[in-house]
Structure formats: C-alpha cells, structure tokens
Amino acid sequence: MAANGTASSSCLDPTAFKVTVTVVLILLILITIAGNVVVCLAVGLNRRLRSLTNCFIVSLAITDLLLGLLVLPFSAFYQLSCQWSFGKVFCNIYTSLDVMLCTASILNLFMISLDRYCAVTDPLRYPVLVTPVRVAVSLVLIWVISITLSFLSIHLEWNSRPENHSDSHTIPKCKVQVNLVYGLVDGLVTFYLPLLVMCITYYRIFRIAREQARRIHNVGPWRAATLREHKATVTLAAVMGAFIVCWLPYFTVFVYRGLRGDSAVDKTVEDVVLWLGYANSALNPVLYAALNRDFRTAYQQLFRCSPAGQDARRTSLGSNSSQLTGAPWACYRGELQCRALHAQSVLNQSTLHCSEEGVGKHFLPDYPLRFLTASSAALGCKP
C-alpha cells in the first residue's frame, strides 16, 4: 500500500545504491507477474486443477498479478524518482488500487486457511460446507470489503487528516492518508483479525498432521514418519512465516501512523515495510501453488509442453480429493476401500489411481501439507 514520503527524505543519491535498488525492484515486479501468470496458466490448461479448492488460489494469483501490473510499476517509478509526477487525480486512483489489491490478496490468504481448515477437520462434510455458492459469496465479499476500504474510503476522504486536505491538482508526494479510525479499522479488518484466525487454523492443521504422522510411526518406520512430520512443520512454518514477516511490519507502521501522524515515522522505514509487503505477492505463487503436488505436476507439464494426461499413472487424487481428505485408504484387488471416522465406503478403481503393489496413502490436504505414504497394513485399512 502506497506509503512513500517526501522527496528530500527518501531520494536515492548514491548511484551504485540506486542501481542496486532499481534492479531489486524490477526483479520483484517481474517475479510477481511471471509467477502469478504461471499459476493462472496451470489452472487454465489443466482440468484437474479446476476445483473449488483452487478457486481461492486462482483468485489470489489474479489479485497479485493485477498488483504487479497496475501498482508496482508506478510504485517503483515513484520510489526511484522521489517525486509524484502524475497529478492528484491519478494519485487517488493509484492509492485506491494499491489498498484494494493488497487487501484482497490478504483476504484471499485468509479464505485459503479457512478452506484448508474445513478440509482437514471435517473431510466428510467438506463438499457440504464448501459449495460453489459459498465460494462465490466469499469471493464477492472479499472484493466488497477491499473496495470499501480503498476506493470508497479514499475518495470520500474517510482516511484523511484535517491538515492533509489540499485543493491543488499537483502534489509532490502520493501516499495513503491515515487517521486514527481508518488506521485501526483497516488494520484490524485487513490484517490483525485474519492473522489471528490463520494462526489458529494452521495450528489446528499442524496438530492433526502431527497426530497422523505419529499414528503411522507406531506401525511404520520411525525415520519416514519423522521426516513427514518435519516436512509438514516446515511447510506450515513457511506459510505463516512469510505472511507475518511480509505484512506485520507494514501494518504496525500503518496503525502507528494513524495514532501519531505521518511525521512520527521515518520515510525510509515506510519504504522498506511497504516493499516488504509487496514481496508477499511474489512469494504467494510458491507458497500456495508450487508446494501443491498437483500444481507442481502442472508446472512440469506446462514447461515441457506435455499433454495433461501424460502423468496419469502418478496422479493420486482428482477433483474429488477434498471429499477424501484425511481419510486412509488401501488398494485391494482392484478396489479402493476408504475408512474415515466410523464410516466406510468402497470406491471403484476409476475414481482414484491404485498401484499394483498394494501401497496405500494417507491423504492430507492438497495444500499446505504433503502426502503421508505407508503400506496398506500400516494404515490399518481392512480389505
């Protein structure tokens, strides 16, 4: 979200340093655009990825892509030139787009955590809890909140301080104004409340993953179970760590500006935390797509230009993966038997791929956890 200050306080004078910053900003913009384009292409070209589970990931990719195309180039130009050259009207549009897209990106991350929480804690009811209508309503709600906190608030000047009003059409700087009420409301709705819920949901997901790994450890190889638990821990730590590191500094400064005023925060600090928040849009394609096994397969097919069905033998779960998330199953004479909680159902082999060796898998959610593999006997699935 735009937060640059006056030209005198943040202009980059040393040539070598300015060149370094220029290269870093250009690379960040290119990575943001390229990474999110690849996510969109992967879903568009691979039918298996067109599921409700991935709707929020696609929405996140589109949001971050728009940020990379419509906001980051102007932010970089402003950062390097140390002066806003596009007038007051476009400044309002630019800052509104900035706030809207950053807010939508964070709220999409929030919805992904809720989706994964439903898939892990109640896999059998997941198709009932997460329906096309509810996903559509959630996406609409994301954009309604984002537009309200951006275009509506900025153009009606709900965020302005009395001393910052100006009737001039030319302005030396362009930044999001923050008063006490706007700083607290935007900080709570956009970041702090989603952060609290995400910490709770991912902690619950981690506990379930650890419990499942320990169950397999009791009947399977110790090292394999420990490795799986370690991978799940690292994945969850990467997800939450990136989100907190990228956005916590920005919103801390943002709320502090609302409480104490713009003069209370050093402009260099504002610039650093601003671009740190932008960096989250470059990391999202990796954290929320590349760590997903189906997306990795789609990426390989995309870059090798191979047919979508070439790796069908290695395909584990299709569009029905959410219905079986967390349920142990085993291969037995061409049939798959799935047992979850107190229910047991038999699925034909065409639904899921069954290996000839009789090796079963204990499926955790597509994202953010990995597959836990063990023998059918170790999983306790009865023929």
Task: Report domain extents, the chain.
Answer: 7-303, 316-379
Check residue 223 and give its pLDDT: 56
Q: Are 64 and 32 in contact (CB under 8 A)?
A: yes
Cα angle 351, 352, 354 (rounded to 5 degrees) comes to 130
Round to whole Å and give the CA distance between 238 and 280: 12
Round to whole Å and give the CA distance between 364 and 207: 12
* pLDDT (tens place) for every residue of the chain, 383 residues total: 765 544 444 566 678 888 999 999 999 999 999 999 999 999 998 888 988 889 999 999 999 999 999 999 999 999 999 889 899 899 999 999 999 999 999 999 999 999 989 988 888 898 999 999 999 999 999 999 999 999 999 999 999 887 665 555 556 789 899 999 999 999 999 999 999 999 999 899 888 877 776 766 565 555 555 555 556 567 777 888 999 999 999 999 999 999 998 888 998 999 999 999 999 999 999 887 777 778 888 888 888 865 544 444 444 433 333 333 333 333 333 333 333 333 333 333 333 333 333 333 333 333 333 333 333 333 333 33
Check residue 139 and give its pLDDT: 97
Round to whole Å and give the CA distance between 42 and 289: 10
Q: What would the 3-class secondary structure string for the chain be?
A: CCECCCHHHHCCCCHHHHHHHHHHHHHHHHHHHHHHHHHHHHHHHCHHHCCHHHHHHHHHHHHHHHHHHHCHHHHHHHHHHCCCCCHHHHHHHHHHHHHHHHHHHHHHHHHHHHHHHHHHHCHHHHHHHCCHHHHHHHHHHHHHHHHHHHHHHHHCCCCCCHHHCCCCCCCCCCECCCCHHHHHHHHHHHHHHHHHHHHHHHHHHHHHHHHHHHHHHHHCCHHHHHHHHHHHHHHHHHHHHHHHHHHHHHHHHHHHHHHHCHHHCCHHHHHHHHHHHHHHHHHHHHHHHHCCHHHHHHHHHHHHCCCCCCCHHHCCCCCCHHHHCCCEEEEECCEEEEEECCEEEEEECCCCCCCCCCEEEECCCCCCCCCEEEEHHHHCCCC
Check residue 119 and give its pLDDT: 86
Q: Are 328 and 379 in contact (CB under 8 A)?
A: yes
> What does the block give as tokens for 202?
């991912």
Round to whole Å and give the CA distance between 97 and 1: 9
Check residue 224 and give its pLDDT: 57
Check residue 288 and give its pLDDT: 77
Give the other-Cβ count within 10 Å of 237's Cβ: 12
Sign for the CA dihedral angle at 83, 88, 90, 91 comes to positive
Name 288's bridge partners: none
Q: Are 251 and 243 in contact (CB under 8 A)?
A: no
Round to whole Å and give the CA distance between 97 and 188: 20
Q: Are 3 and 274 in contact (CB under 8 A)?
A: yes
pTM over 0.85: no
Check residue 272 and give its pLDDT: 95
CATH, range 7-303: 1.20.1070.10
> What does the block give as tokens for 247?
């956005």
Length of the chain, in residues: 383
Q: Which residues contact 72 (CB under 8 A, 6 or more apart)?
A: 25, 28, 29, 32, 278
Q: Are 128 and 78 in contact (CB under 8 A)?
A: no
Cα angle 3, 273, 278 (rounded to 5 degrees) comes to 85
What angle do the packed helices 55-70 and 132-147 form, to 10 degrees? 30
Check residue 337 and give its pLDDT: 36
The HSE-up count of residue 210 (CA atoms within 13 Å, CB side) is: 11
> What does the block give as tokens for 10?
């943040």
Round to whole Å and give the CA distance between 330 and 360: 5
